[in-house]
Structure 1
Amino acid sequence: MSLSPAQGKAQELAARLPPLLLAAERVAATVAGGSHGRRRAGSGETFWQFRTAQPGDSLGAIDWRQSARAQGLFVRETEWAAAQVVGMWRDASASMAWRSSPALPQKNERAELLLLALAATLLKAGEKVALVSGGLPPVTGGTALERLALALDQDGAALPPPGRLPRHTQRVLVSDFLMPLAEIEAALRPLAAEGGGGHLVQVLDPAEETLPYRGRIRFLGLEGEGEMLARRAEDLRVPYAKALAAHRDGLAALARSLGWDFAIHHTDQPPQMALLALHQRLSQPRFERRRC
């Protein structure tokens, strides 16, 4: 009896998930020794806000003075208390399922590993993780990492759609970001308007950085762009490098305009390097990042 496509995909994921989670845990364990955790604001630099009281809030958490001024009950939160959720997204488009050499991971594999390793680190610190798309609400606890991995596998958006996440959720978006800048900006600005800050990680294969090819090469688009025959691929190297640099400058400028961070990671580099840098950026209080 043959399996349906859905059953086959489920079996494939079931076989892939344990080693993937183990790899993520190993990367997270390596990084844990080099990070200092998320820094809580001290008494001299507390940044706070009010939010509407919700079921489960204790009476002691309610700010009665603010509640008396307004119609309703309000809870006063510190910056730390308001920033406990990290929303994640990785590009699932066809261009991510590529590598220039069998010795390298595909870009989507590295993106997935980075997010799951980051999630493992955050979950151990008591944080919550979620999908930016809303496909997984904020979760924590022993099964959260597996739930995130399963949800990521079903999250097929080529650009992050707006989801319903708590205010002040920080967002980590991993992609090759090789789509037009206008499309990227149209997707990111609604997310940035929700507050909370964001972190863009551009994952590229080293061949996409250097275009190391020579001679007659046929380039095939992975997302319906068609094909291009280069009779001397080496002649494309300089104009390609200029175009990539201009695109990357645009990405960095867009991130700055949103108050977000931008970083680059190549798949021939250890994932620990990118994860440690990303975790350190997440550890900075938002008001501290805005002064940078």
Structure 2
Amino acid sequence: MATGAPLPLERQHAAVDAARGLPPLLVAALRVASTVAPGVHGRRRVGTGDSFWQFRPYGAGDSMARIDWRQSGKSDALFIRDQEWEAAQSLWLWRDLSPSMDYRSGPALPSKRERAEVLALALASLLIRAGERVALLGGADRPSASRTTLPRLALRLAEEALGDGLPPAVPVPRYGRVLLFGDFFTDPEALGARLRGLADRGVQGHLVQVLDPAEVALPFKGRIRFLDSESRDEMLARRVEDIRPAYRARLDAHTAALADLARRLGWGFVRHTTDQAPTVALVTLYQQLSDGGGRERGAR
């Protein structure tokens, strides 16, 4: 096809359909990322890898084998050629695909799925700016830091079908990183069985539990019929006030089990509710990634 020739009509329609939900998602993610960006710094680190990072002056303790003689020959000083820390460059993002993620308790709130996607894309934007390579866990694309990575991630998120609430059992290179966003309304032991294979390979990770505020507080009153969005089971509560204490205790126990799982894996854990500003979770996540360690954080 000649340069500048129009796309076939069917491909134009396919492109329009694919991009229909993309702009609002990307605009929201980039707005969140731009709010956080002034307060964070790049994450490039020295380490073993194939990608060139920088030249720096030779110093005490440096091996002479690491001297770049070509660069050193351009001046009177000796220079070391630093490579980037390869393990810190590759991060895989995953967003829960279960139907419960479509829940929102009010029209002014985003669904849990929307918030998870905005957080994932906003974090990807920050990481790409810092030179990190990002991809979706279980996707066909390799981790990349190119300028097309973010729009491609948004399209892939829009294309994904429903799932069972567990991240895919796919291999991640040793010492890579994964960031998992979801409500994690699943058995912590089943989740742990899926994640231990990653942790045993030295993969670092972070669990971000995204909840609607109504799921935390159960603020309803009187007679309410609850419908499980996944099993379609129903439960009639004649007085929600009577079951609220037991419900909150069970939710707190479930969240504590998730946090304990993350702790045992050496991973980070954050709980975020959709009535909070997304920057709250984003700053915490970025700090955890920069610190290189897993810590339990989040608003209760």
Q: TM-score, normalised by structure 1?
A: 0.80
Corresponding residue of 1:192: 199
State whether structure 2 residue 77 is matched by structure 1 residue 101: no
Task: Assess if the C-alpha contact under 8 Å between 1:83 and 1:196 holds in 2.
Answer: no
Unpaired stretches in structure 2, ≥5 consecutive residues? 1-11, 53-62, 66-81, 296-300
Percent identity of equivalent pairs? 52
- Which residue of structure 1 aligns with residue 158 of structure 2? 153
Question: Is the radius of gyration larger for structure 1 or structure 2?
Answer: 2
User: Are the counterparts in 2 of residues 39 and 285 from structure 1 also a CA contact under 8 Å?
Assistant: no
Q: Describe the superposition over 1:107-139 as per-residue Cα deviations: whole angstroms up to 9, x where unpaired.
A: 000000000000011111111001122433212
Q: Specify the alignment match of 1:35 in structure 2.
A: 40
For 1:109 and 1:145, locate their aligned partners in 2 and report how far apart those are by CA, in whole Å. 16
Q: Which 5+ residue runs of structure 1 have no aligned equivalent?
A: 1-6, 42-47, 58-62, 66-76
For residue 88 of structure 2, what is the aligned residue in structure 1? 83
| Pairing of 1:46-125 with structure 2 (within 5 A) | 80-125=85-130
Counterpart CA distance in 2 for 1:83 and 1:195 is 12
Give the Å deviation of 1:9: 9.1
Report the CA distance shift for 1:109/1:9 in structure 2 as closer, same or farther (over 3 A). Answer: farther
Pick aligned residue for 2:190 from 183, 190, 199: 183
Within 5 A, what are the aligned runs for 1:139-288?
139-156=144-161, 157=163, 158-285=165-292
Change (3 A) 1:151 1:164: farther
Cα pair distance change 1:153/1:192, threshold 3 Å: farther
TM-score, normalised relative to structure 2: 0.78
CA separation of 1:233/1:11 partners in 2, compared to 1, >3 Å: closer, same or farther? farther
Indicate conservation of the 8 Å contact 1:202/1:265, yes or no: yes
Distance, in Å, in 2 between the alignment partners of 1:116 and 1:227 is 34
- Aligned Cα root-mean-square deviation (Å): 2.8
Paired residues of 1:217 and 1:232 also in contact (CA < 8 A):
yes
C-alpha contact (below 8 Å) 2:101/2:112 kept by paired residues: yes
Aligned pair count reads: 257
User: 2:271 aligns to what SS in structure 1?
Assistant: strand
Moved >6 Å (runs of 4+): 7-10
CA distance in structure 2 between the aligned counterparts of 1:218 and 1:10, rounded to whole angstroms: 41
Q: Deviations along 1:219-247, whole A, 9 cap, x unmatched? A: 00000140000000111110001101111
